[in-house]
Amino acid sequence: MVANNIVNTEKTAPSQAFDRVKYLREQITLNSRLYYVEDNPILSDYEYDMMFKELKELEEKYPELDSPTSPTKRVGGAALDKFEKVTHTVRMGSLIDVFSHDELADYIRKIGETLGHKAVFSVEPKIDGLSVSLEYRYGELVTGSTRGDGITGENVTENIKTIRSIPLSLPDKLPLLEVRGEVYMPKKSFAKLNERQEEDGKPTFANPRNAAAGSLRQLDSKITAKRNLDIFIFNIQQIEGKSFSSHTEGLEYLKTQGFHIIDGISRETDETKILDKIDDIGSKREGLAYDIDGAVLKIDDLSERELIGENTSTPKWAVAYKFPPERKPTKLTDIIVQVGRTGVITPNAVLEPVRLAGTTVSRATLHNIDFIRERDIMIGDTVLVQKAGDIIPEIVMVDKSKRTGDERPFVMPALCPSCSEPITREDEAAYRCTNPACPAQLERSVIHFSSRDAMGIDGMGEAIVHLLIAEEMIHGAADIYYLAANDVAKLERMGEKSAENLINSIENSKKAGLARLIYALGIRNIGEKAAKTLANKFGDIEALFTASKEELSELDDFGEITADFVCNFFSHPQTRNLVDKLKAAGVETTCEKTAAGGKFTGMTFVLTGTLPTMTRSEAEELIEKNGGKASSSVSKKTTFVLAGAEAGSKLTKAQALGVSIIDEETFMKMLEE
């Protein structure tokens, strides 16, 4: 389907490009809705990806065709310094909680007494997530904001756009539509995120709600885009150009506009049926792909809601019934340790199998040694277990009354169970194997090295890395560059063409650049931004072998701890061998340094709108190469706002603060001077 519509962008006239961009956006939006909202995809992932890739290339080639509501904006944009505040026109209130059938029945009866008749209630599953508002003007998404205190929230529009089930443009172009929804993290995404956090030696999230909240409030929307968030819309806050008599009628309308509405909503009047429906929702919790913590009861008739009214911060016409977490006792038979990608040693409890929240649990993470000591957990204890977010098994407490005296304390091993190198503990709860060549770390480190934001080797996924290591074709990341296509083709599920494509991608990755190489090495605390800082400062990976802790500590956003990590990493002989092999293979290990005293040293630029001849990323690169800083929010500290066509609120704010505003022509003259 896609191949027949591909155009040669090098030869496409602007008018043809306009038509093609319009077609691609319509198709991508339609298929995103079918996939993420209706769970009924009609395109393969490959076809969808190819359409997305073509659209992105056309928008880069013709910046004048770019649009803030393009599907390509879902991948995340520039990082923010902070979130702007948003005042909610309609208060985003919270709900009164009840915890028993008796409390709920009492509420239902009181509503009936107030109305003089039995009310019709909408009974809905209660998503455990982060409440947000989405505001549309004439069918276009203009603002996404958090609930905050109900009156003032935070502008998270760029992050909201990364959630693929949120329509950026609506079929009906109403003057105003504001809807409220709950952003959540699916259970599988939550499990994978916590696994990565533990591998990287970072704190894990307690539950999917905390994970969703933390992900939506990332200052870098690219991080949000990687977290696989979703949303269920559950209310119309305000609307112009249309009206409804009931809540459920409004939800049905929202479905026609492409919004994700939760399944299992029913309209009930009878008290017994309402309680049965809530119990039914509770009984299905285990099989859901998302976390719910209760059910919500709302008066369906909107005129009756007006009659019932609201309290200061909670509506009287709705109530939340909260489910208790399921907990069960079991025996902790042993504690074993696992080695993550960055060498962090994580203790795990081995449990006598117990059925919990729909699955059999036999393992539970113990996070670190401090977690074990704080809870006085011993091998042989009877422990109470629950699932954080109904998915991650965790030990809640120890039943010390069941102790017999045969229990024994857990002691962290002195040597790594994988490579037998010494384990060290730093100024934190984590123990680590400091051997970069540790076999247990190999697979995860090679996957990270090859990932999109690191060296960007297409086709080097988990399955291929596992096979390459199992067949002893690689023993470290540098070995990737010494693979031969005919050897790779012999691997299971690989053929000549796939092997050739992989080798070509490996070859292309040699030009990824120093910043991405540093990030790919997997140095603790060194993310993409820090890697870029190191590359710009030193310009050559060799300089990092002799860089002092004091010199590193003085870099922006670096401190003594991060400087220590860098120094320690480059002090290992294994690192020396790794870099030598990379250089011998032709991997680029240098870049143009940011000159001290560059033209823009000490200056902060904010970019807004579409520039005539360059992309924002190209302009940001020029700013940084010349010693300046590119920010995404305007403040009194901003030196210049570089504005292009269709500049938005940043331009307005700059004018209000008296910040100097320049265009691309002036910017280029500044570079030439």
In this structure, are strands 327-339 and 382-388 parallel, antiparallel, or unpaired? antiparallel
| Residue type (1 letter), 644 | G
Cα angle value 579/584/587 (rounded, 5°): 70
Cα angle value 10/14/18 (rounded, 5°): 110
- Give the closest residue to 594 by CA, choosing from 540, 544, 537: 537
Measure the CA–CA gap between 172 and 337, rounded to whole angstroms: 56
Helix (H, G, I), strand (E, B) or coil at 221: helix
The answer to whether residue 387 is catalytic is: no
Residues forming a β-bridge with 143:
135
Helix (H, G, I), strand (E, B) or coil at 531: helix
Tokens of 574: 């294994």
Check if the beta carbon of residue 118 is closer than 8 Å to that of residue 112: yes
Check if the beta carbon of residue 399 is closer than 8 Å to that of residue 373: no
- Strands in 130-137's sheet, in edge-to-edge order, are 140-146, 130-137, 176-184, 230-240
646 φ, ψ (degrees, to nearest 5): 60, 40
- Give the closest residue to 549 by CA, choosing from 532, 536, 537, 561: 561
Check if the beta carbon of residue 387 is closer than 8 Å to that of residue 326: yes
The total of other beta-carbon atoms located within 10 Å of residue 437's CB is 17
Measure the CA–CA gap between 124 and 600, rounded to whole angstroms: 55
Cα dist. 658→21, 445, 636, 642 in Å? Answer: 37, 48, 8, 14
Tokens of 645: 């066509």
Any residues with CB less than 8 A from the CB of 102 and at least 6 apart, and which? none
Any residues with CB less than 8 A from the CB of 613 and at least 6 apart, and which? 664
> Half-sphere exposure of 455 toward its Cβ, with a 13 Å CA cutoff?
31
- Maximum CA pair distance of the chain? 84
Check if the beta carbon of residue 228 is closer than 8 Å to that of residue 189: yes
The total of other beta-carbon atoms located within 10 Å of residue 511's CB is 11
DSSP class per residue in 153-195: EEB-HHHHTT-TTS-SB-SS--SEEEEEEEEE--HHHHHHHHH
Helix (H, G, I), strand (E, B) or coil at 631: strand
Helix (H, G, I), strand (E, B) or coil at 668: helix
Cα dist. 532→80, 187, 512, 594 in Å? Answer: 17, 33, 12, 11
- Give the closest residue to 518 by CA, choosing from 448, 465, 469, 441: 448
Check if the beta carbon of residue 344 is closer than 8 Å to that of residue 412: no
Cα dist. 490→459, 472, 493, 506 in Å? Answer: 15, 13, 8, 17
Tokens of 556: 């922006």
Q: Which one is catalytic: 126, 161, 298, 625? A: 126
- Give the closest residue to 399 by CA, choosing from 382, 387, 386, 385: 382
Catalytic center residues: 126
